[in-house]
Amino acid sequence: MGEDSDEMLDLVAQAWQVIETIRPKYSCRTCDKIIQAPAPVKAIARGKLSYAALAHIMMAKWGYHLPFYRQAQMMAAKGVDIERSTLARSAGYAAALLDPIYTRIREIGRTRTKIHTDDTRLPDPGARQRQDTQGRALGLRRRRPQLGFAGAADCLVSRHHGPRWRER
Task: Read off the pLDDT of residues 138-161 as tens digits, 9 standing for 90 and up.
Answer: 555 555 554 454 555 556 666 666
State the residue range of the domain holding 48.
43-98
For residue 23, is it within any domain? no
Q: The pTM is what? A: 0.67
Residues 85 and 116 in one domain: no
Map the chain to HEC letters. CCCCCCCCCCCCCCCCCCCCCCCCEEEECCCCEEEECCCCCCCCCCCCCCHHHHHHHHHHHHHCCCCHHHHHHHHHHCCCCCCHHHHHHHHHHHHHHHHHHHHHHHHHHHCCCCCCCCCEEEECCCCCCCCCCEEEECCCCCCECCCECCCHHHCCCCCCCECCHHHC
- Arithmetic mean of pLDDT, 83-107: 92
Check whether residue 89 and residue 60 sit in a common domain: yes
Is 78 part of any domain?
A: yes
| Total tally of structural domains belonging to the chain | 2
pLDDT of residue 46: 87
